[in-house]
Amino acid sequence: MLMAEPSVLFDTLPTASGHRFGRATLNAPARLNALSLHMVDLLTQQLQAWAQDTSIAGVLLDAAGDKAFCAGGDVVGLYQAIRALPPGQVPPEASAFFEREYRLDYAIHTYPKPIVCWGHGFVMGGGIGLMAGASHRVVTQRSRLAMPEISIGLYPDVGGSWLLPRMPGKTGAFLALTGAHLNAADALFAGLADFLCPHEAHCDLLAGIAAASWRGEQASDAAQLSHLLERLGAGTELPASALRTHFDRINAIIGHDGLDGLAPRLAALAQDTDPWLAQAGATFAKGSPTSAVLAMELQRRARHLSLADAFRLELQASVGCCAHPDFAEGVRALLVDKDKTPRWTPATLSEVTPAWIEDHLRPRFEGPHPLADLK
């Protein structure tokens, strides 16, 4: 009987200086490398070990397959766990998944060594969480990034509440409300990526890491890694950026008058002649009203929070989404039954009350916060 391949592959790359680079490869290409709790735990344990190993100069995080780095978390598994319990109850595996996923994301943001994330193909939701905190974030000409949670009754988590308000202008709010897809140029403009390289240069990256002499010192090794990636990406043609092209218009649509004021302007984009804007408007119009309000409220609260405090707030929100109907209903409609006709509760923005949002955000744990130790 053949043994199934591990869902994350680990290796180390020898280098000219005697140091090594850790390599972690997401290895679930059939499901677009969607993150399971087991994968989160494997990555966390190995990253901790490499952080403490003085022979490891840096880490490369990449993925098997040609379609996706990581298309998000395993939300179908969470849906099944939620549906197995009476309404309003949160399955322990859901609480565990979000807590440990956010711990992993925070560890990447605060890692003591350079991390290259090779974000080829789809990078969505939980994939953004893995990539956002890496010191060297690479996109290719076929990268497609998005935070599409409004379509499944969630919100841009994995640090998105902290990350999105720090993007240029009003683009963070626009992306949260529309789930708009970003190409490599968009990702660079938004601050979600640092380098553009052709995907074919991945093997050259491995060779370049092996041929280099590393010092085991974060600043100098990070600089050397940057120069290597710049050389690999030299001359790569940058696609047109819809986010940059429509930047002024996006700022005007989001405006300053809150969700009630901007909603009609955003929904009207569904009739726009520009396909990218039209898709954004249609996605917003079909999305969960609760998700829209929750995303905007979390961005408002996280604007001046530390990253650790943002993750603590998001954990409360994500567990709260498991206790309310839209998350399970959105996953059902999009990914399980695939009828694409979710029945949102409540059905309109005007019915989403402040008390409803506060109930999503209240703590659902006893004692200290599960992420209290994040600094």
pLDDT tens figures, 289-311: 999 999 999 999 999 999 999 99
**Global pTM?**
0.97
Which is higher by pLDDT, 5 or 90? 90
Q: How far apart are the first and last CA of the chain?
A: 46
Q: Name which of 4-8, 264-268, 294-298 the model is least confident about.
A: 4-8
Q: Which pLDDT value is given to residue 13?
A: 98
Confidence of residue 150 (pLDDT cuts 50, 70, 90): very high
Q: Per the omega criterion (within 30 degrees of 0), is the bond before 325 cis?
A: no
Confidence of residue 2 (pLDDT cuts 50, 70, 90): low
327-337: average pLDDT = 98
Q: Residues of the chain with pLDDT > 70: what percent?
A: 99
Average pLDDT taken over every residue of the chain: 97
Q: Which pLDDT value is given to residue 4?
A: 77
271 alpha carbon, distance to own chain's centre = 29
**Alpha carbon separation from 34 to 37, 127, 328 (Å, rounded):** 10, 8, 17
Q: For the packed helices 307-323 and 354-361, what is the interaxial angle rounded to 10 degrees?
A: 110
Q: Which pLDDT value is given to residue 139?
A: 98
Can you point out the beta strands (E) in the chain?
Answer: 8-14, 20-26, 56-63, 68-70, 115-119, 122-124, 136-139, 144-146, 195-196
Confidence of residue 3 (pLDDT cuts 50, 70, 90): low
**DSSP state string for 224-238:** HHHHHHHHHHTTPPP
193-197: average pLDDT = 98
Domains contained in the chain, CATH given? 8-361 (3.90.226.10)
Instruction: Quick: pLDDT tens for 34-73.
Output: 999 999 999 999 999 999 999 999 999 999 999 999 999 9
Q: Which pLDDT value is given to residue 155?
A: 98
Structure tokens at 353: 């009350």
